[in-house]
Structure 1
């Protein structure tokens, strides 16, 4: 058994190593070299019989593991919408770990319950969503989409007199689901897990920018869930909520919006991009994307607070709580206080700080798109948000440039497919990314295009 002094020494050593990692994040290869990846084989050993000393465990983790990390916490990672963790959020995460709270209810953690309620209220205010909405802090946008769509189906069935909790789905009235043709895979995953069946999803055609086309919207009724999105994953575009949602509401449908990263535009000077999104019934968004918080901090938001609380309720005789306790708003019963880093990020940024951060990323993305177009690249989207969708002269050149950029270690971004052909997607979302980092990316891509045959 380790003594309290041993524990303090170990935690101090972990902090020292963590700070050293962060201090070097700007100069670390954005994707690890092959030698660092090969060195990971040292971890592949039989389970120790007696265990290593704690300091040795930490040393091995850092010496072998740290060189093999992707520097997504740095300034030149453009692969996905993954924001580097803000200092206040990172510090809060460390303190929350020391608290070691089971943040399921007020009885288990008064401080977690209080801070998560405030974080939820602030998020609703910043996103311009109905203040009466319930906010459940879940592990991911996928998990939060599961929660929201569960509440949606249960509510639609209840309106038809069906007791979903007691009778399940056997013999239940059919619930239809309409999704965008560019629907994100996590929404499809949630629907598949919930048993809707991908072959039974009704697809709404989209326009050239990946937005649902109102003229081709499938028929809706009171047994329909309509899934829209704020921030198409390739183009960053928004479905025309102000036109689509009133039509869905008039038909009695439930509207869910996947806003994993794009919903944060509502807190920026470009809020009009998502005009009308507040009319929906439920929304999901993720902190680790554009809010720049640690992973494991997404939000399930539901206008009808009772609908989410009833669908997710997990009260027991030995562990009852208020209907808006986090264990009754999310999938998890035992859970960490994942909303506290979100509270810390919002408290440190404030309304104006968050607006400036998102505005900066949108400005940088637009500048990036314009410069690449001048250099002869095809920029395939309008660059309304933080996504820049790019193609070179040929498919082969596009793929070769992307691979060379990845291998350079200077930046990292990944491949995608747009309208049946290869492309690559540049996402700008880190608080660490400066204008100089954007210029370095442009310089590298211009150089690679000149060097790579079409």
Structure 2
């Protein structure tokens, strides 16, 4: 096998895909059923020639690929997989390092150590925090809440890591009514239950109301975890950390912040005030494959109490080397032993963009979101429903009732079919909305103007058909 020719072929195919961004529609050309048919065949009985196989894979997959890396993909909060991060990830795959411990993969462990320090500095979080490199914010929330579960129970004389939850003092979990669904999943995975929580009332932007939070805390007696939010998934709103964190800590609660994309506001001088006080929490979850633009999968579980973090996650065995003073084993901070070396892409992206480049990108995206909202908001038949403080815009078309729901859904469908941009739908306060999430390094005000024009064009066509 000519490895160099094989890798070159794969890289050329990847580059062709990326270079065609301007010509491709922002939607797949083929649906799921067609994609299954394209790949479906009997189990191969013999080998396939490597180069022909890679070419065939690219050809079969291409029509079913979404342009998530495109500058006008606004359907979910998804970063653009920056080419520098992709290149670093290609090397990561080629190197084949199992990032379980520092002895087996010194460079993989070392790059996590440095990248973790850089992340804490970028996000203005305490330098003593530990960082686990996980698949994304879902597992980051799980990891942080596992540390929280162990810590709050140990304060009440129970070692959950050793004894489990059978017979343990009950943990009170307080969470905002508009928290992201993955946080509820993390609670489910941890045996804390996605319904066995105190849901705290929120305001019109999805922020926890301080009065409701204080009232909910008044009945807390025993182990407690409070889950706050930096960046509500529909509105981009931030909880009032200055008000809420002292209230929670006054009851001895561990405070965790789900900051999948919003925590990155701390890296921007112009947006940092949105997250003021977030550094006083006990743990934080965020993504790299959102605003740091790393390839999937990349997320960070950040915990102030490094010992609580390690107690919740460390996997020990007699055949594994021990970490000594000044050494760091990546597997001590994540729920995996064998895993890819995620730190290389993170290190490469931070090294490539630098502090100022990351801040500029975040601000560029936020200005693009504001531009879309401003253009759409000029129309009487379009309503922007949120304060556009970050990168999220939710809009609605037509009337308040069911007719407006139908019109909004039809406009979303028309935009997706057209393919010039991609947006998604959601429910907000019981009504259908179009959700626009700006989170790509290529998206600027010019792209925003194209996006707004595409939405208004779709609205015009749909409205004409209704009439």
Same-fold call, TM > 0.5?
Answer: yes
After the TM superposition, which of the residue ranges 279-288 and 220-229 deviates more from structure 2? 220-229
1:75 touches 1:432 (CA, 8 Å); kept in 2? yes
Per the alignment, residue 267 of structure 1 pairs with 267
Tell me the distance in 2 between the aligned counterparts of 1:438 and 1:56. 40
1:136 touches 1:301 (CA, 8 Å); kept in 2? yes
Per the alignment, residue 151 of structure 1 pairs with 147
The question of 1:360 aligning with 2:364 is answered yes
Tell me the distance in 2 between the aligned counterparts of 1:302 and 1:402. 39
Per the alignment, residue 31 of structure 1 pairs with 27
The question of 1:442 aligning with 2:452 is answered yes
Per the alignment, residue 302 of structure 2 pairs with 301
Deviations 1:216-239 (A, max 9, x none): 111145411001110000000000
Tell me the distance in 2 between the aligned counterparts of 1:30 and 1:53. 33
Following superposition, the deviation at residue 163 of structure 1 comes to: 2.0
TM-score, structure 2 normalization = 0.94
Deviations 1:352-411 (A, max 9, x none): 111100011111111111110002310000000000001001111111100000001111
Per the alignment, residue 108 of structure 2 pairs with 112
- Cα 1:180/1:36, change in 2 over 3 Å: closer
Per the alignment, residue 249 of structure 1 pairs with 249
2:364 touches 2:443 (CA, 8 Å); kept in 1? no
The question of 1:331 aligning with 2:297 is answered no
Per the alignment, residue 384 of structure 2 pairs with 379
Aligned residues: 450
- Cα 1:115/1:156, change in 2 over 3 Å: same
Tell me the distance in 2 between the aligned counterparts of 1:265 and 1:52. 48
Q: Secondary structure at the match of 2:195?
A: helix
Q: Secondary structure at the match of 1:290?
A: coil
Tell me the distance in 2 between the aligned counterparts of 1:51 and 1:414. 42
Deviations 1:147-173 (A, max 9, x none): 111110111111111122332111111
2:102 touches 2:328 (CA, 8 Å); kept in 1? no
Deviations 1:291-331 (A, max 9, x none): 11111110000000111011101121110332841101001
Q: Secondary structure at the match of 1:364?
A: helix
Deviations 1:126-150 (A, max 9, x none): 1011100000001121111111111
Deviations 1:164-203 (A, max 9, x none): 2332111111111111100101100010111112231110
TM-score, structure 1 normalization = 0.96
Aligned residues: CA RMSD = 1.4
Tell me the distance in 2 between the aligned counterparts of 1:37 and 1:347. 41
Q: Secondary structure at the match of 2:395?
A: strand
Per the alignment, residue 431 of structure 1 pairs with 441
1:103 touches 1:109 (CA, 8 Å); kept in 2? yes
Q: Which consecutive residues of structure 2, in runs of 5 or more, have no partner in the other structure?
A: 399-403
Q: Which consecutive residues of structure 1, in runs of 5 or more, have no partner in the other structure?
A: none
2:169 touches 2:222 (CA, 8 Å); kept in 1? no
